Every structure is written in structure tokens, then in C-alpha cells.
Homo-oligomer: A and B are copies of this chain.
């Protein structure tokens, strides 16, 4: 402990504890200028630092929000965490980070822990279609901002959803490949249950349909539907495996839409493993635009999420929910993604045989 209490400060300054408290809580107008100076001096001299536990116990408030991500080992989430922290810090808040590893049970346990710690606002990065596992907490009063997950039918009535427009994003990616002349396009992802996977898949099939192709004939790889949940760390391994399998099939795709950049980088590695050239023999599009997309060889064409804006929006909404006495109605914020064309995509190769 710093050990110094407001009582000691009060005695040192020759005032009462409540005056010190008033000073600390932004109500310096309630005292004479000279008193204010005396208190400030005493605080300095004693090196006083408020005890947050006591403050929290008394007020019930705490300047911490929770952040639950699948895994910070994925650079996309690491980056998001950093932006969220930046936004929080500007308002004097801390961020308590939790890795769910995409396990619903861990998500629930984490939210319960955070709640028990007095944290009243959490940004939950979950792509699960149902939020039933955390519903009791929300009903108890936990403010929740769901990130990377659009609103679903059964959602609690007070949820804020912040996400990129996945349908549009995947549509952009797929349309880009179609324009390049590709017709045998594969879609690669892990878990089928994730909300953004569904949406990105829809953007994918929509684009195919618009081009007059039959989505039913599209090549879809999901690593065996039962294999889930899968860790984020394995997104890359997943992509690599997918590439291996897809490329030795008879009906080999000339282009692949990946569920995210880590997966796309794995796919690219798998394509090279097979002795083929990325962007020439096989084109690859990712999703996210992590820093490494631009460093890859060839640089990865991808759909950029405006991650800084999204993090700022997430925190802003969270804060307003926490502060407001009564829960405002649910809303969704859908940000527009942007296609970033690099060298991992190129014209469809001439048909063989």
C-alpha cells in the first residue's frame, strides 16, 4: 500500500476528510482557494494515492472495462486490443484483457469473473450466434458491446453490436476475383457456427450468383464441420491444410477466399508447399488487413477492417451504456470495409488440358 489515507492528508492540511474527498472528486469549487492549495500541498508532500478498492466499495464504480477476445496471439486481436486501450486510456479507464480461445464456457466464466470484480462494461469479441451463455449477466446489468458479430434474432434487448459489414466485404473480395476471370473459387474457413463466417459466406455466394454462377457448385472447405471450436492460432494451420487438400483435388480452384488474413497466409504457404505460385497459379484474398498482409510475399490482397475506428466506437458505446442509468435500446453499428488489392490476386490462369 501507499499507506497514506485521506485522514492523514486531512490532518496534514488541517481540514476534514470530506474536504479532501471533495478536492479529489473534482469539486474544488466548494472550498476557498487557500484551502485548496493546502490540500494539494499535503497530498504532494505525503505522496497520497487514492485506494481504488475503497472507492469502488463505496461507490460501486470502477474505471476498468473488460475485453474478451478469441486470442491475442492473432495479430488482428492484438492490434484491436491496443486501439481499445488507447481509447480507454484517454478517459482514464483500464482494460482487462481475457482470451476466450473461442470457448463459450470460457467466455461465460470470464464475464462472471469480471462482473464479480465490479466491472460493469465488457467488449465481447465472440462470433457465436447465440449469446445465451452470457444472458444472465446482461440481465443482471452488465453492459455488453459485441464486437465482430452482427445482431442476431435471439439477442438480449440492450446489446450494442459493432462489426464490419461482412457481407459487403466478402462480396468485394469475391467480385474482385470474378473480375479477374476466376470461375472456380473456393471459400475456406474453420467453424461453421461463427456469425461472421456465415455472413462472409453469404457475401461470397451473393457475388457468385450475381456473376451467373451457381453457388451450389462453389468449393467450400471448413476443415470437417465437426471440428470446432478451433483456436485462432490454428487459423494459419487450418489454411495450410485446406490448401493442401484443395490443390490435390480434381476440381482445383484457381482462387481462394479466406475467412481472415491468418488463414490466407496459411493458404499461401500451402500453395507454395504444392509448388505453385500465389497470385499466378492460385489467387488468394484475405480479410482484416493485418500489418503482415503487406509484408507477405506476395503481399496479400485483403478486405480492410477500419479497426481503429471500430475500437473507438466500441469504447464510446460501452461508456455511454455504463454511465446511463437505464439501458438504452439495442443498436448495431456496421462499418464499411475496403478492398485492398495487392499481388496475391491475379488474372485467372488459362484452363489446363
Of A11-19, A123-131, A186-194, A261-269, the segment with at least 4 beta carbons within 8 Å of chain B is A261-269
A48 to chain B, nearest CB (A): 10
State whether A291 touches B236 (Cβ < 8 A).
Answer: yes
This chain: copies in complex: 2
A321 to chain B, nearest CB (A): 17
A99 proximal to B (CB < 8 A): yes
Task: Please give, as numbers and ranges, the residues of chain B lying within 8 Å of A266 by CB-CB distance.
Answer: 295
A116 proximal to B (CB < 8 A): yes
A232 to chain B, nearest CB (A): 10
User: Complex Cα distance A52/B298, Å?
Assistant: 51
User: Complex Cα distance A75/B77, Å?
Assistant: 10
A87 proximal to B (CB < 8 A): no
Provided the pairs A96-B94, A99-B82, A116-B49 are in contact, do residues A57 and B60 lie with their beta carbons within 8 angstroms?
no
A46 proximal to B (CB < 8 A): no
Task: Please give, as numbers and ranges, the residues of chain B lying within 8 Å of A135 by CB-CB distance.
Answer: none
Choose from B71, B117, B294, B295 the contact partner of A82 (Cβ within 8 Å).
Answer: B71
A74 proximal to B (CB < 8 A): yes
The 9 closest A-B pairs by CB, nearest first: A78-B78, A72-B78, A53-B56, A297-B297, A97-B97, A53-B57, A49-B116, A73-B79, A269-B295
Give the residue among A77, A78, A265, A272 with the most B Cβ atoms within 10 A.
A78
Within 8 A of B (CB), among A261-299: 265-266, 268-269, 272, 278, 291-292, 294-299
